[in-house]
Structure 1
Amino acid sequence: MKTRLLLVDDEEGIRNVLSLVLNDCGYAVTVAANAEEAWERFLALPFELVLTDIKMPGHSGLELLARVKQHSPEAEVIMLTGHGDMDLAIESLKLDAFDFLLKPVNQDVLEIALQRAVERISMRKDLRAYAQNLEDMVREKSAQLVEAERQLAAMQVMEGIASGIRSLTFAVTEEQEGLGTDVPVPEGIFNELPCFVAVHNADLKIVAINALYRERLGNLVGGNSWAAYAPNAVPKRMCPVREVLETGIGHRSDQLIVDKTGTEIPVIVHTAPIYDNDGEVELVLELSVDISEVRRLREDLRQTQERYRRLFDASPCYIAVMDKGMRVVEANRKFRDDFGETGNKSCHELYAHRQSVCSGCPAQHTFQDGGTHQHETVVTAQNGRQVNVLVSTAPLYDAKGNVAEVLELSTDITELRNLQSRLAQLGLLLGSTAHGIKGLLTGMDGAVYRMGSGLEKNNPARVEDAFADMRQLSARLKKLVLDILYYSKERSMVWETLAVADFTAENATIGRSKAEERGVHFVFAPARQEEWGTFTVDSSAMSSALVNILENAVEACTATQSPPATPPTVTFAVETTPETICFCIRDTGHGMDTETREKLFTLFFSSKGAAGTGIGLFVANQVVAQHGGHIAVESAPGQGSAFTITLPRTPQQPQE
C-alpha cells in the first residue's frame, strides 16, 4: 500500500513537477495550492507525510505545521524554503518539523528525506506494537497465575478442618472391620473434597481414605503411612504423619506422591492431629493438594518472563518502566550500560541530571491521559556523551484498569541529527554568503559606473582608481566562492603561525567594544606577554569562535531583570604552557544549571528563548575541536560562568 503524501505549494509549476517525481517514487500524492486547502484535505483524509512550502499567501507553512502536529503528532512534516528563509526553517524545526529542504529541491535529497521520514513512521508503529504485545502477554500470564494461586489458597483452607474433625459424624466402613479398631472413618463430606484425604493411626497405618485417593493412588488402607510417597522423596518412617505423632502439632510441606501408574505428582501436604478424650494424639488427618497445574503455570510464566526479559535486554533502544513518582523501576541492559544502575532514581535524574520533571515529559502526559506520547530531546550518558533520542511512551495498567506504570522507549537518533546539523550548517553558510556576494556585486556596479564616467570625461586618475577597486572586489568575491567550496567539501583549514599576544589583543578589543555598548565592565590585564610566544591557528575561524563566547558572556551579564548588587563584569585572560594556550573567559551573569551546561554545544539549543538561534556555540565548539582543543565550562545558577578554551600550540594532525 502506497504512503499517502500531501504536497502544498502556491506555485503551480512546482506542484506539477514535484507531484510527478513523488508519484514515480511510489507515493500517493494529493496536492493543495495553499494552507487552507491543505488543512481541509488533511481533515478529510489524514496523511502520514506532508511536504509544504513555508511562505505562501494567506496562512504560512509554519501555521499549517502547527495545526498538523496538534491534530496528528505522529504525522511527519518536511518544509520547503528559499535561501532567504533560514530563520523560518529553523523555527519550523523547533515546531517539530521532521526536516527542511532548500529550493530548488534536489531530487536525490528529497528522496532520502522522505525515505527517512517513512522509516521513522514505521519504527514508531513497530515500537507501539511491541509494547502492546508485551503488555498483553504479561497480563494473560499474570491472570493465569492469579487464578492458580486463588485455587491453591482455597485448598489450603482445608488445613483448619482438623480442629473440628471430632464434631463430624463418622461411620465404620467395611474396610475397617478387619483392623480390630473402632476408628471413625469420614464419610460423605471427605469424598466430595477435591484433594487426597487419608486418616492414619498411631501405628503409622492408613485406616481410611476418600474416593479421590482410592481412584488415583489405589486402595492403600492397611498399608504404611509412607506408602503413597515417592521412594526417593521421603525416607521410611520419616513421613509427615510421623512428625505429627512425635510433635503433637500440624505440619505443612511440599512432597511427591506416586499414583497407580507410577507417575509422580507434586503435592502440598497438610497434616493435623486428632486427639482422644485424654488429650493424646489418636489419629492424624492428612490432606494432599495436587499442585501440578500450579507448577505448570508457574513454569510457563517463568519461561515467558525469561523470554521477554531477553528481548527486553537485547533491544537496541533504551527501555525503562517508571512509576507515578517518575522513578525508574525497571530498565534494560542498554539503558543501564549508558546511564548506570537505576538505584530507585527518577528518569530526569538519570537522563538530565536535574531534580525536577523535564519540560514536555511524555511519561507524565501518559500518566495524565493514558495515551501514547512522543518527544524528542537530548540526554547525557554517564560518560558525558550527549545522545539525541526520540522518546515514545505507553501506559501499563493494573488489574483495575488504572495506569500504574509507564513504558518508555527511547531511540538513539544522534547520527540522524548529526547529518541534519551538517546540512543546516551548509544552508546557513550559503544564506549568509549570498548576502556577502550581493554586497560585493553592488560595490562592483559602483566601480564600473566610476570607470565609465572617467572614460567619458577622459579622467585617467578616476579610471585607474575604479579599476583598482574592481580588482580588489573581484579578489574578495573569488575568496568568498572558495569559502563556499570549503564548507561543502570540508577542505583543510588555513593554518598560520601568529604571536599569541597580537591575536589576543585584537579579540580583546572586539570584546571590550561589545561590553561597553551594553554597559558591562570588561577586564583584560595581560601580563608577561613576551612569554606567550606563538601558536599555529586558523585566525579567522578561531577569532570568530572567541568573539562568539565573549558576546555570550556579555549577554549573560545583562540578561537579569533586576539590577545586580555589583557591576556586571567580563574577564578575559590568557594562560600558557610550553605545549598549550588557554583563553579564559569569565562572567558574573546568571549562570547555568547542569542540564543547560550539558546541552550548551548542541545545534539549535539556546537558553535565550526566541532571542537565540542555538548555532553560535555549536560552531565555536566545532572550530576548537578542529584545532585539536576543547572547551571546559564551569557554572552554577546565580554564580556566573567560566569558559576555558585550551588549544595546542601546534596541532599534531590538522583536521581535514
Structure 2
Amino acid sequence: MKEKVLVADDEKDIRDLLALLLEDLGYEVIKADDGLSAFSLFQEKRPSIILTDIKMPGMDGIQLLKRVKTEDKDVEVIMISGHGDMGLAIESLKHEAADFITKPFDDALLAHALQKVQEKIALKRDLRAYTENLESLVREKSARLQQLFDEVPCYVTVQDRDLKITEANRHFKEDFGFESGMSCYKAYKHRDEPCPDCPILQTFEDGLSHQAETVVTARNGENYNTLIWTAPLTDSRGEVARVIEMSTNITRIRQLQDHIASMGMMLGSMSHGLRGLLMALDGGIYRIESGLGKQNLDEIRSGWDMLRLRIERIRKMVLDVLYYAKSRDLDISQIDLPAFASELVSLTGPKAEKAGVRFTTDLSGAEGTFEADATALSSALVNFLENAVDACQVDRVKQEHAVTLSVKRTIGHVLFAISDNGIGMDQETKNNMFTLFFSSKGSRGTGIGLFVSNQVVNQHHGRITVESAHSRGTSIRVEIPEEQPKNPKSLGYAECSEGVVRT
C-alpha cells in the first residue's frame, strides 16, 4: 500500500513538480493550493506525510503545521522554504516539523528527507503495534490474575494502613459483602475498632508475613474458624504500601477435631460404664445358671430381669453412640401426625407401666401431616419421654408419679409437650442438660442421649423450651415446623444449637 503525501503550495508549477518527483518515488500524492484546503484534505484523506510551503496566503505553513500536530502528532511535516525563509524554517522545527528543504529542490535531498520520515513513521508504527500487543497481553494476564484472585479457595483481601479493604476476591464478597471503605474488623468481626494483635498491622510495622487463627462472623450470622496469613506489598521505594491477607475457612477441620476429641472422651466414659454393665451381665448369667441347676424359677426370673435391664441399657448406649458418630442427611418425608403420636405412646408406654408410672396422653389435637425425619425425630422424643420416666423412678418423695404426652398442631408448627412430676432439675443440671457427656444419672447414663435429641430438633429447625424445678418435676415443649426448608441440615458432627430456649 502506497504512503500518502499531501503537497501544499500556492505555486502550481512547484506543486506539479513535487507531485512528479514523489510519484516517481512510489508515493500517492494529494495536492492543495493553500493552507485551508490543505488542512481540509488532511482531515479527509489522512496522509501520513505533508510537504508544505512556509509562505502561503490565508493559512501559512507554520499555522498548518500547528493545526495538524494538534489533531494528529504522528503526522510528519516537511517544510519547504526559500533562502530568505531560514528563520521561519528553524522556527517550524520548534513546532515539531520533521525537516525542511529549500527551493530550488535537490532530488537527492528530497529523497533523503522522505526516507528519514519514512523510517520515523515505520518506527512509530512498530512501537504502536508493540504497545498495543503489550497492552493486550497485560489485559489478558490481568484477566487471568483476576480469575485466580477470585477463584482461589480462601478469602483474599488487600488492605491499606487504615485497614480499609481496597480489593477483595469473589469468595470474600459472597460471604462478607464488600463496600467502598469497608474495614476488615467491621467485615470480619462487626467491631468498631481494630482487633488486638492484628496481623495486618504487624506486617505494616515490620514488613514480615504473620499468621493467626480467629473466629469471624459472616453476613448471614454464621461463625467460621479461619487461619490467616499476611504478606507485604511494597511500592517502588521498597516501603510497605498495602498488605494482602489470605484467610482459609477451617471450620470443618476444627469441627472434625472436636468431634474426634469428643469421641475419645466418650469412649473413655463408656469404658467404665460398659465394665459395670458386663459385670452385671455376668451376675445375671450366674443367677440363671444357678437357678437352672436348682430348678429355682424365682432365681431364674431374677437373673433374667437383670440381663434384660442391662441389655436395654447397652442397646440405648449403642443407639446414642451411632446417632452421635454417624453423619447423614435428614430423610424428610410427609408424616401422618396421629400415627406418629400413637407410635410414641406404644414405644414409651411399656417402660412407664413397668416402672409403675402412670402414662397419660392427649392426642386430640394431633391432626393432618407434617414434614420430618421420622426415625430421627421419634428417637429424640422417645429419649425425652424415657428421661421423664427415669426422673419419676428416682423420686422417693411422692407416692404417685405420672408422665403426660400432649401432641397438637399450632400455627405453622407441631407441638410435642412432655411433663412429669419426677425429681426435677436444679439450675446447674438444667443449664447443662444438653451438654455432651453431661449426665445426672451417674453410671446409669452416657451423657449423649439428650445432646443427640437437642441436635435432632435443631436440625429440624425446631425449638425446645424447658421448665423445671428440683422436686417439682419437668416440662419440655418441642416445636417442629410443619414444613422443612429445602436445604435440610445434616445429622452428626454437631454444632452449637441456636434453637434451644431454657427457662
* Larger of the two Rg values belongs to structure: 2
TM-score scaled by length of structure 1: 0.36
TM-score scaled by length of structure 2: 0.44
